[in-house]
C-alpha cells in the first residue's frame, strides 16, 4: 500500500512540460543573452542594482558591470589578481596554482551609492576591498577577509550586507574545518558563533538575509538575520551522518555578552526545517537554496526552499514554502533541546523540561527587557547567556505550508530557485517558481490550488553546467543565471512564442494572454487591455481560428509522399484525418512521424484530403482542445492517358 501511494503521488507531479527549449541553437529565437569573456571563469557571484541599472558579476580574478537590460553589454571591468607572495604561500601549503591559488570573487555588496564591498578567496588568504563605482576601480587597501569570505573557492558560503554590516556564513580557517556565522562591522570587532558542534556541525551554508519588522515589531524587537544551511544532525542517530536542513537567526542589535559570550552571538538559535511527505515517511533533508518572497505586509513573507534527499541518487527534488509567521513562532516560543549524558560516554539530545531563565535565552532585546533596564545584549544576565550558549537548538520544527512540498520533480537535482508573485487577469495572485538544475536547465512552474503546473523547460548553460546563482528582476522581467562559463539572461516569459490563441491559453502561464485585435500572445504587463487568459487552460474563449486553404501535393504512383506537420506542444497528440476518417497506425503504408505523415507507396486509393490536427487535454477543466494545423490535397500524378471524350 505504501509503495502504491508513493507512485501515485509522483505520477501526478511528474515532469509534464508543454514546451521545452532545450537546444542552445534556439537562443536567438528565445532572446537569451549570454555573457562571458575569454580566459575568465566562475561567474558565480551576482548582484543586481536597481539604482545603477546594473548587474555586477564576481568571477575568477575579475569583477564586471553589465547592463541589466542586456548582459551582453559590458560597461566596466576590473581585474583583481593574486600577487606573487601569497601565491607562493598558497602553493607551499599544497594547493594548486592553476585552480585553488587564484582570487575567486565571492562577496559583492553595495555599501552606498558610490561603493561596493568586494571580497575574494585570494589564494586561500581571503581579502576584501572597496570598489569605487564611478571609475570602477578598487581602493587598493585590502583588508583581512577572514570570516567574511571563504578560503576555499569550492566551499559553501553565504553573505549579506545589512545597513553597512556584513553577515557571513563560512569557514574561519585554512582547512575549512571551523565553521562560523559572523558579523563584520567597520566600527566594531567581529561578532561570531561559538566553535562547538552544538552551534554548527559541518554546515553547508546556503543563504542569509535580513527580515525586517516581523510579528514582534510592536514589542520593539529589532530586525533579524536568518541563515539557512544543511548540517550534520546531533539530535538524531542514523547508520551514518544524518543531514538536517536548518534555519538559524541572530538579532541585528546583538553586541555579544559582557562576561559570558563575549564577542559571541547572544541571540543565535536554530531549528529544523521540515520538507517531507509525512504519509510516505520520505524526507527531503538537504536544502540547496532559499528565496525570500517578500510581501508588502512583512508577516505575509514566504520563504521558499529547494531540497533534495541525502540519498541523492533518488533523483527527487522538492520545493517547500514556509510562512514567516511559523518561523517566528518557533524562535519566539519553541522548546529548547539539551544534551544529556548516557552511561558516561554517549550523549543524547532531549527536550529541556526545566525552568528557562528569564529573559528568554536567544530573544532579541524588546520593550519588556528595556523596562528591566536591559537595553542591549551586554546587559543580559549570565544565566540567560549560559543557557543559550548550551541550548542553541530548538526542539520545535518549522513545518512547510500545507505540511508538504509545493512541488516535487523526479530525475532532476535543483540547485537554485527564485520566485515571483504575479497577479493574473483573473485578479488572483500566483507564485511562479523558477528552479535551476545541476545540468543548467531552468524550470518554470506555477502554483495553482489543485497543484503545480510546469510551464517551461529551458537550457541556460553550455555543456549542461550547473546553475550556481539565479536572480530575478521584476523590473527588467529577466532571470540572470551565473555558471562557471558565463552569465545568461532570460525573459521570465516567452509569450510571443505562442502563435495561436489556444497555445497561449493552454500554456497556463500567468504572464501571458491573448490579444485578439493583434492576434498575438502578449505579456499582460505590456497591454492590460481586453486580453484573453484562462489559467485552467480552458481555451473556449479563443476566437475561431482562421480557415485554411488546402495545400496541393502531387506524386507519382508507387512513390512516397511526405506531408509535414509540426506539433508545438509536448502535451498534445497529433491526429490525421483523411477524407473525413481518422488514420490509425494499423494502416501499413502510413507512418506518423514526429514531423508529419509519410505515405510510402502512394496508391490511387490514397488520393484525397489530409488534415493534421493537434489534440490536447486541458486537465484542469477535463476538456480536449483540437486545432487544425495544416490541410493537404493529395493527387496522383498520372501519365497522360487518352484524352477524355468531350460531351
Q: Which residues bind its own copies (CB under 8 A)?
A: 2-3, 6-7, 9-10, 235-242, 276, 278, 280-283, 285, 309-314, 316, 340, 342-343, 345-346, 348, 350, 353, 413, 438, 556-560, 598, 600-601
> Residue 378 burial (CB < 10 Å; 0-12/13-18/19+)?
middle
Q: 582 — phi, psi (to 5°)?
A: -75, 135
Residue 561 DSSP SS3: strand
Within 8 A by CB and 6+ apart from 154, the residues are none
**Could you give phi then psi for residue 611, rounded to 5 degrees?**
-125, 135
Cis peptide bond N-terminal to 607, omega within 30: no
Rounded least distance, CB 230 to its own copies, Å: 12
Report residue 598: phi and psi, to 5°. -115, 120
Q: What angle do CA 577, 578, 580 make, to 5 degrees?
A: 75
Residue 346 C-beta: closest distance to its own copies, Å: 5
Backbone angles phi, psi at 289, to 5 degrees: -160, 155
Q: In angstroms, what is the minimal distance from the CB of 414 to its own copies?
A: 12
Which residue is it, cell 562571458? 36
SS3 160: strand
> Cell numbers at residue 555, please?
506524386
CB 131 within 8 Å of CB 138: yes
Considering beta carbons, is residue 61 or 438 the nearer one to its own copies? 438
Residue number with CB closer to its own copies (50 or 202): 202
Least distance from its own copies to the Cβ atom of residue 555, Å: 8
CA distance 516 to 530: 8
Q: 309 or 332, CB closer to its own copies? A: 309
Give SS3 for 326. helix
Residue 301, C-alpha cell as written in the block: 513573507
CA distances to 73, 82, 152, 354, 517 from 40, rounded to whole Å, are: 16, 15, 18, 57, 48
Q: In angstroms, what is the minimal distance from the CB of 328 to its own copies?
A: 23
C-beta of 76: minimal distance to its own copies in Å?
35
As measured in angstroms, the least distance from the Cβ of 610 to its own copies is 17
| Closer of 107 and 412 to its own copies (Cβ) | 412
Residue closer to its own copies (CB basis): 164 or 315: 315
CB count within 10 Å of CB 385 equals 23
Between 258 and 310, name the residue whose CB sits nearer to its own copies: 310
Among the listed residues 359, 517, 480, the one whose alpha carbon sits nearest the alpha carbon of residue 68: 480
281/518 with CB nearer its own copies: 281
C-beta of 423 vs 587, nearer to its own copies:
587
Q: Closest approach of Cβ 398 to its own copies, in Å?
A: 14
For residue 201, the SS3 value is coil
Three cell numbers, residue 517: 485585435
Q: In whole angstroms, how close is the CB of 313 to its own copies at the nearest point? A: 4
- For the bound state, the minimum distance from the C-beta of residue 175 to its own copies, rounded and expressed in Å, comes to 18
Q: Which three cell numbers stand for residue 526?
A: 505590456
CB atoms within 10 A of CB 628: 15
Question: Would you say 346 or 645 has its CB closer to its own copies?
Answer: 346
Pair 217, 362: CB distance under 8 Å: no
- In angstroms, what is the minimal distance from the CB of 584 to its own copies? 18
End-to-end CA distance of the chain: 78
User: Shortest Cβ distance from residue 87 to its own copies (Å)?
Assistant: 26
CA dist., res. 574 & res. 588, Å (int): 18
Distances (CA, A) of 269 to 102, 286, 569: 35, 19, 49
Nearer to its own copies, 322 or 498 (CB): 322
The C-alpha cell that represents 6 in the structure block: 508513493
Pairing, β 54-59 against β 45-49: antiparallel
Query: Omega into 536 within 30° of 0, i.e. cis?
Result: no
CB-based contact 210:223 (threshold 8 Å): yes
Q: Tell me the three state secondary structure of residue 333.
A: helix
Cβ closest to its own copies, residue 156 vs residue 366: 156
- For its own copies, give the closer residue by CB, 293 or 555: 555
Burial environment of residue 434 by CB neighbours within 10 A (0 to 12, 13 to 18, 19 or more)? buried
Supply the minimum distance, in Å, between the C-beta of residue 608 and its own copies: 19
In the complex, least distance from residue 539 CB atom to its own copies, rounded to whole angstroms = 34
| CB closer to its own copies, 108 vs 561 | 561
Report the residue number, 202 or 237, with the smaller CB distance to its own copies.
237
Q: Does residue 525 contact residue 512 with C-beta atoms inside 8 Å?
A: no
- Give yes or no for a contact between 228 and 167, defined as CB atoms under 8 angstroms apart: no
Nearer residue to its own copies within complex by CB, 208 or 467:
467
What is the smallest separation between the CB atom of 348 and its own copies, expressed in angstroms? 5
Amino acid at each position: 500500500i505504501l509503495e502504491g501511494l508513493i507512485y501515485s503521488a509522483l505520477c501526478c507531479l511528474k515532469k509534464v512540460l508543454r514546451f521545452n527549449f532545450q537546444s542552445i541553437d534556439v537562443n536567438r529565437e528565445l532572446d537569451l543573452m549570454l555573457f562571458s569573456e575569454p580566459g575568465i571563469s566562475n561567474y558565480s557571484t551576482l548582484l543586481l542594482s536597481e539604482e545603477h541599472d546594473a548587474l555586477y558579476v564576481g568571477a575568477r580574478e575579475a569583477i564586471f558591470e553589465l547592463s541589466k537590460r542586456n548582459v551582453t553589454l559590458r560597461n566596466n571591468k576590473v581585474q583583481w589578481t593574486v600577487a606573487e607572495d601569497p601565491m607562493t604561500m598558497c602553493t607551499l601549503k599544497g594547493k594548486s596554482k592553476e585552480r585553488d591559488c587564484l582570487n575567486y570573487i565571492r562577496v559583492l555588496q553595495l555599501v552606498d551609492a558610490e561603493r561596493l564591498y568586494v571580497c575574494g578567496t585570494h589564494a586561500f588568504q581571503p581579502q576584501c576591498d572597496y570598489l569605487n563605482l564611478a571609475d570602477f576601480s578598487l581602493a587598493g587597501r585590502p583588508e583581512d577577509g577572514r570570516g567574511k569570505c571563504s578560503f576555499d573557492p569550492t566551499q559553501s558560503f553565504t553573505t549579506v550586507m545589512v545597513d553597512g554590516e556584513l553577515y557571513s556564513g563560512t569557514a574561519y580557517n585554512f582547512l575549512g574545518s571551523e565553521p562560523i556565522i559572523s558579523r563584520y562591522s567597520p566600527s566594531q570587532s567581529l561578532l561570531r558563533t561559538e566553535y562547538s558542534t552544538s552551534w554548527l556541525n559541518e554546515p553547508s551554508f546556503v543563504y542569509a538575509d535580513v527580515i525586517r519588522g516581523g510579528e514582534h515589531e510592536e514589542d520593539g524587537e529589532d530586525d533579524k538575520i536568518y541563515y539557512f544551511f544543511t548540517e550534520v544532525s546531533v539530535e538524531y542517530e542514523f547508520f551514518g551522518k544524518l543531514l538536517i536542513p536548518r534555519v538559524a537567526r541572530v538579532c541585528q542589535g546583538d553586541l555579544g555578552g559582557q562576561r559570558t559570550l563575549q564577542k559571541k552571538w547572544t541571540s543565535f538559535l536554530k531549528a529544523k526545517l521540515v520538507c517531507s511527505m509525512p504519509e510516505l515517511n520520505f524526507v527531503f533533508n538537504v536544502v540547496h537554496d532559499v528565496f525570500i518572497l517578500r510581501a508588502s505586509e512583512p508577516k505575509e513573507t514566504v520563504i521558499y526552499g529547494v531540497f533534495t534527499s541525502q540519498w541523492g541518487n533518488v533523483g527527487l527534488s522538492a520545493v517547500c514554502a514556509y510562512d514567516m509567521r511559523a518561523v517566528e513562532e518557533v524562535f519566539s516560543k519553541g522548546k529548547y533541546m539539551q544534551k544529556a549524558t548516557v552511561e558516561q560516554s554517549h550523549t543524547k539530545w532531549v527536550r529541556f523540561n526545566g525552568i528557562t531563565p528569564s529573559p528568554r535565552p536567544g530573544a532579541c532585546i524588546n520593550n519588556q527587557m528595556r523596562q528591566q533596564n536591559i537595553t542591549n545584549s551586554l546587559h543580559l544576565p549570565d544565566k540567560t547567556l549560559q543557557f543559550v550558549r548550551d541550548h542553541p537548538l530548538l526542539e520545535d520544527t518549522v513545518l512547510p505550508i500545507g505540511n508538504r512540498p509545493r512541488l516535487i520533480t523526479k530525475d532532476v537535482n535543483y540547485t537554485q530557485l527564485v520566485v515571483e508573485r504575479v497577479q493574473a487577469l483573473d485578479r488572483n495572485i500566483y507564485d511562479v517558481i523558477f528552479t535551476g538544475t545541476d545540468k543548467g536547465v531552468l524550470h518554470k512552474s506555477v502554483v495553482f490550488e489543485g497543484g503545480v503546473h510546469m510551464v517551461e523547460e529551458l537550457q541556460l548553460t553550455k555543456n549542461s553546467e550547473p546553475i550556481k546563482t539565479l536572480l530575478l528582476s521584476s523590473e527588467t522581467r529577466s532571470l540572470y543565471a551565473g555558471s562557471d562559463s558565463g552569465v545568461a539572461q532570460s525573459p521570465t516569459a516567452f509569450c510571443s512564442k505562442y502563435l495561436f490563441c489556444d497555445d497561449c491559453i493552454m500554456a497556463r502561464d500567468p504572464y501571458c494572454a491573448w490579444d485578439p485585435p493583434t492576434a498575438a500572445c502578449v505579456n499582460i504587463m505590456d497591454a492590460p487591455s481586453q486580453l484573453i487568459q484562462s489559467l485552467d487552460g480552458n481555451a473556449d474563449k479563443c476566437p475561431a481560428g482562421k480557415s485554411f486553404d488546402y495545400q496541393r501535393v502531387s506524386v507519382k504512383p508507387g512513390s512516397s509522399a511526405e506531408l509535414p506537420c509540426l506539433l508545438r506542444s509536448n502535451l498534445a497528440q497529433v491526429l490525421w484525418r483523411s477524407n473525413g476518417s481518422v488514420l490509425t497506425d494499423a494502416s501499413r503504408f502510413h507512418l506518423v512521424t514526429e514531423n508529419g505523415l509519410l505515405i510510402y507507396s502512394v496508391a490511387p486509393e490514397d488520393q484525397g484530403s489530409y488534415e493534421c490536427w493537434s489534440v490536447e487535454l486541458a486537465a484542469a477543466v477535463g476538456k480536449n482542445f483540437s486545432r487544425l494545423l495544416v490541410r493537404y490535397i493529395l493527387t496522383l500524378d498520372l501519365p497522360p492517358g487518352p484524352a477524355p471524350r468531350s460531351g
